[in-house]
Amino acid sequence: MVKLLRILLILLLFPAAANAGPALTAADLRTSQSLDGAWHWSVDPYRDGLSGFHGGGVGSSSNRYADIVQADVARDNPTALFEFDMQRSPVAYLPGAWIGHSAEMRYYNGLVWYQRTFEVPALQPGKRSFLRFGAVDYSAAVYVNGKLAGKHLGGFTPFALEVTGLLRAGTNQITVGVDSERHDADVPPPVTDWENYGGITRSVLLITVSETYVDDGWVRLGTDGRITAGIRLDGAHANDAPVALRIPALGLVLEGKTDANGRWTGSIAAPRKLARWSPESPTLYDVSFEGAGDTMKDRVGFRTIEVKGEDILLNGKSIFLRGICLHEEELGDNPVRAITPAAARALLTEVRDGLHGNFVRLAHYPHSEVMTRMADELGLLVWSEVPVYWRVNWSNPDTLATARAMVRESITRDRNRASIILWSVANETPVNDARNAFLRTLIGDVRSLDPSRLVTAALLAGRQGNVQTIDDPLAADLDVMAANTYNGWYTPDPLASVAAIEWRSPVRKPLIFSEFGADAQAGYHDDAAAPHKFSEEFQAEYYRQTLAMARRVPFLRGLAPWILKDFRSPRRQHPVFQQGWNRKGLLSNTGQRKAAFFVLSDEYARRRDGR
């Protein structure tokens, strides 16, 4: 009861209000004008473009977003002063982090201005236009034709800003101030174990819709055998309006009317001929959500996911998750976090066909929708998480509001993805009351936004001698427990002793090993009887021993070792073995398979075949 009251109090005091704006779900499938491509960029390390040197408003000599062409003004007015020139600044091709713009940008952490123009042939009266950003890391301020269109916080979720009143017929100017610097109150906080890819890292689209339009639509199959759907209209005619869900291949039509908030939900028994989505047969259907003359389209798979005792049931059958973790980083020597369909396919194909996997943990933040759509298509189950990582500012209400906004934006974007079965709310967070309350609020949000999926978090487990125990009180709040474990890598345990470690849990639930791993530099071989750390042989033996330990955990229902591919991390500066890369990949950064890759792939083939 006391617990309930505390949660209610938190919900009342800190509503998830940060970043609230249009959802524009499935924006990537809407007819749009792409603003990807060439943008000018200009660094602003002292943030002169935001305010004057004594504070106050920005001066004209530093105002990057003014609706002018600097060279024209300077030509016509000899007294004009500009200490930048957007239109003559260098060009970068977006999306992609600025780390790839030039050698000087490698370690830049701060404010960068981006600008380009786009054409609007004619204004369309009675229509509404939105700028939709897939992701800007970390904060964004967007200006159109000199006026602020809106701001957004958080590097991994989409946002849409209405610009109907800001556009003009002809040439329009868009300027985005992108600030990569994070502070203690941010999510994640400044210290992580991955590269801070500042910039506009996902697509920018200009989308025009009718005055009242379908802002959000979701549909899913429940364990009750019914298809349930929801639609939210936005606009002057959103209320009491007829809406419909259509799945033409199933001949399914579900109709209704929105309420006084523009919302409708309805349900219908699933047709007999509905083919369930699964890794073996990832069937997707074209679905349309209609209302007020607008149609939102999506491609959706239907499957159920639930927990029974210590089992995870997919479409009613117990499943073992043969997984691997991934960061959002493409293969190659100089990744810029540009996840194209080809980049996503290359990574996921290694998981599915190379490792015989059926599961990916998309760590440690919501990945590009290109990735989650590719997982739907290729038949990989997905763990999706928010960047609540390590030392979060648990007692700061703004931090909680930011994390809640991320949960909302991520689930709203992705709740039509059949591949996603697990929402994770945190990674390796220290146990204390403030943290528990914070995470319980997020868990409550997840459950109300999407009661059809399972909730998890990557926990740390206590160890005494040879026994590891899931002793985190948060385990009681989760559907699926998950533990990161690095015995034999971060601990001095000889590898030969790792297999004997036992796992216990006071609560009876399925467990996933959400991480385990060891660094190895591809090509470094050590034939000694006890191979050294960073060699391929050490990593392979570490996998053999840890997998042997895993086989003995009776309530284990999945594995997601750390990690598919070497990834950049400023923490990792060993000059011989790391050079700024975390080398726990089973693939090198360019995709070369290490010895441990084959150990895991054999294990997964064995588990797949029930051997």
In the complex, which residues of this chain contact ligand GCB (CB under 6 A)?
193, 364, 427-428, 484, 515, 562, 582, 584
CB-wise, 178 or 600, nearer to ligand GCB? Answer: 600
| Closer of 150 and 366 to ligand GCB (Cβ) | 366
| Residue nearer to ligand GCB on the CB measure, 568 or 584 | 584
By beta-carbon proximity to ligand GCB, the closer residue of 445 and 566 is: 566
First to last CA, the chain: 47
Cβ-based neighbours of 486, under 8 Å, separated by 6 or more: 515, 516, 517, 518
Please, what is the minimum distance in Å from the beta carbon of residue 329 to ligand GCB? 12
The least CB distance from residue 116 to ligand GCB, in Å, is 35
Q: Whole-angstrom Cα distance, residue 152 to residue 155?
A: 9
Residue 201 CB, nearest distance to ligand GCB (Å)? 19
Q: Which is nearer to ligand GCB, 116 or 583 (CB)?
A: 583
Give whichever of 202 and 364 is closer to ligand GCB, judged by the CB atom: 364
Q: Based on CB atoms, which residue is closest to ligand GCB, 115 or 569?
A: 569
Closest approach, Cβ 572 to ligand GCB, in A, equals: 8
What is the closest distance, in whole angstroms, from the C-beta atom of residue 135 to ligand GCB in the complex?
Answer: 19
Q: How far is the CB of 505 from ligand GCB (least distance, A)?
A: 19
Query: To 10 degrees, the CA torsion angle through 331, 333, 338, 343?
Result: -20
User: Quick one: 294 or 515, whose CB is closer to ligand GCB?
Assistant: 515
Residue 196, both tokens: 């801070």
Residue 438 to residues 15, 46, 177, 453, Cα–Cα distance (Å): 13, 34, 30, 20
Looking at beta carbons only, is 180 or 485 nearer to ligand GCB? 485
Rounded CA separation 10/55 (Å): 35
Q: How far is residue 181 from each of residues 178, 186, 406, 590, measured CA to CA in Å?
A: 9, 9, 18, 28
The residue number whose beta carbon is nearest to ligand GCB equals 193
- Shortest approach of ligand GCB to residue 301 CB, angstroms? 29
| Residue 543: strand, helix, or coil | helix
Contacts of 396-400 with C-beta under 8 Å, sequence gap 24+, read 396/185, 397/13, 397/14, 398/18, 398/185, 399/185, 399/186, 399/187, 399/438, 400/10, 400/14, 400/438, 400/441
Q: How far apart are CA 34 and CA 448, in angstroms?
A: 33
- Angle between helix axes 397-414 and 369-378 (nearest 10 degrees) is 40
DSSP-derived 3-state class of residue 435: helix
Q: Which is nearer to ligand GCB, 89 or 427 (CB)?
A: 427
Q: For residue 72, with 0-12 CB atoms within 10 Å meaning exposed, 13-18 middle and 19 or more buried, which class applies?
A: exposed
Quote the least distance from Cβ 430 to ligand GCB, whole Å.
13
Hey, what are 585's tokens?
């990949």
DSSP state letters, 77-138: -TT---S--GGGS-EEEESEEGGGT-GGGTT--SEEEEEEEEEESS--TTEEEEEEES-EES
CB of 363 to ligand GCB, least distance (A): 6
3-state secondary structure 246-276: EEHHHCEEEEEECCCCCEEEEEEECCCCCCC
The 3-state DSSP class for residue 347 equals: helix
Residue 257 tokens, joined: 């009317």
Taking the complex as a whole, the smallest distance from the CB of residue 560 to ligand GCB amounts, in Å, to 11
572 or 607: CB nearest ligand GCB: 572
CB of 517 to ligand GCB, least distance (A): 6
Q: How far is the CB of 61 from ligand GCB (least distance, A)?
A: 43
Residues 412, 449 contacting (CB under 8 angstroms): yes
Q: Which is nearer to ligand GCB, 359 or 562 (CB)?
A: 562
Angle between helices 397-414 and 433-449 in degrees, nearest 10 = 30
